[in-house]
Amino acid sequence: MRFIQTIYTIWQREIVRYTRAKARILSTLFQPIMFLVIFGVGLKETFAASNFGIDFLQFMYPGIIAISVMSVAIFSTISTVWDREFGFLKEILVTPTPRSAIALGKTLGATTIATGQALILLVLAPLLGITIALPSLFPLLLLMFLLAFALSGLGLFIASLMQTTENFGIVMQLLIFPLFFLSGAFFPLTAVPAWMGAVAAVNPLTYGVDAFRQVLLGGTAAHATLARLSLHTVSLDALFLAAFSCVMVGAAVIAFNKK
């Protein structure tokens, strides 16, 4: 009972902090829309000339949602390092609460915020000519949650290894950007060199993008086109994300316990 209450308390703090930071909400919404406008519009004509078989903006849209989930999830959990620098983490750590509950509360808070952000981006769908069938909303929500949970776990694990916020930049450059660009969000991964395919295969974002695209565009794009652009079945994607979540959240809890 105490365990659940601790998770709930930590989770609630994350949510309250998020709703107070208006600028942060706007800036995290701005990034995916910027990607969509710049890359989508810029490359739209190029791809229209080839036989890509799908509107490029529509192709990118699911990937952009996945990227947004990733940046929000990672940013929210890496804020733990911030807490450490400003002493708030110490205040939490001297309370008689299990470390694992603190780690889980953090992860679930970030998961909720990232999922919420992804849901907000769904309102763009009609603007891009994408129709989302009502029955696909539930699997979509589940997939968003899974991806957010997996990446929040990853974020917390990184945070527990970091000592100061000075390393934020390094993490962004060396981890977040490569994962962004090698996720299949910007171009299909079905015809890339082997090394790139190998990186994409261990990138959790790849599975999120792959699954989102199949579910989101299921009612809009031609079935054959979609099959040509996809790597795995949706259930395989979900399975990978679930397994990745378990490993990452587990690792984060262990790393947190050591502190």
Partner 1 sequence: MAIICVEGLVKKFGAFTAVSAISFTVKKGEVFGFLGPNGAGKSTTISMLSTILPPSAGDATINGFRITRERDAVRRTIGLVFQDTSLDDQLTAEENLRFHARLYGIPRATFLARKEEVLQLVDLEDKKDEIVRTFSGGMKRRLEIARGLIHHPAVLFLDEPSIGLDPQTRAHLWEYILKLKEEKEMTIFMTTHYMDEAEYCDRIAIIDRGAIVALDTPAALKKGVGKDIVTLTTSALRALKKELVGENIAFREEGGTLRIDVDDGEAFLPSLLRTLKTPLNTVSLRKPTLDDVFLHLTGRAIRDEEASKKDILRHAMRMRPR
d(CA 230, CA 226): 6
Taking the complex as a whole, the smallest distance from the CB of residue 9 to partner 1 amounts, in Å, to: 4
Residue span 91-110 as binding mask against partner 1, x where in contact by CB under 8 A, dash where not: xxxxxxx-------------
The first and second tokens of residue 66, run together, are 């996945």
Interaction between residue 169 and partner 1 (CB under 8 A): no
Closer residue to partner 1 in complex, CB, 82/181: 82
Taking the complex as a whole, the smallest distance from the CB of residue 110 to partner 1 amounts, in Å, to: 16
- DSSP code of residue 51: T
State the Cα angle at 94 between 89 and 95, rounded to 5°: 100
Q: Give the largest CA-CA distance in the chain.
A: 63
Interaction between residue 172 and partner 1 (CB under 8 A): no
Interaction between residue 230 and partner 1 (CB under 8 A): no
Taking the complex as a whole, the smallest distance from the CB of residue 100 to partner 1 amounts, in Å, to: 14
d(CA 212, CA 63): 7
* CA-wise closest residue to 148 among 77, 219, 83: 77
* CA-wise closest residue to 149 among 179, 184, 105, 119: 105
* CA-wise closest residue to 13 among 96, 99, 80, 94: 80
Closer residue to partner 1 in complex, CB, 242/259: 259
Taking the complex as a whole, the smallest distance from the CB of residue 98 to partner 1 amounts, in Å, to: 9
d(CA 74, CA 251): 15
Interaction between residue 166 and partner 1 (CB under 8 A): no
Closer residue to partner 1 in complex, CB, 22/223: 22
Say how many C-beta atoms besides its own lie within 10 A of residue 15's C-beta. 14
Closer residue to partner 1 in complex, CB, 25/119: 25
3-class DSSP state of 231: coil
Taking the complex as a whole, the smallest distance from the CB of residue 156 to partner 1 amounts, in Å, to: 18
Taking the complex as a whole, the smallest distance from the CB of residue 10 to partner 1 amounts, in Å, to: 8
Taking the complex as a whole, the smallest distance from the CB of residue 166 to partner 1 amounts, in Å, to: 15
Is 64 in contact with 36 (CB distance < 8 Å)? yes
Interface with partner 1 in residues 2-21 (CB under 8 A): 2, 5-6, 8-9, 13, 16-17, 20-21
Interaction between residue 44 and partner 1 (CB under 8 A): no
Interaction between residue 257 and partner 1 (CB under 8 A): no
Is 253 in contact with 99 (CB distance < 8 Å)? yes
d(CA 144, CA 29): 16
Residue span 54-93 as binding mask against partner 1, x where in contact by CB under 8 A, dash where not: --------------------------------xxx-xxxx
Binding positions for partner 1, rule: CB under 8 A: 2, 5-6, 8-9, 13, 16-17, 20-21, 86-88, 90-97
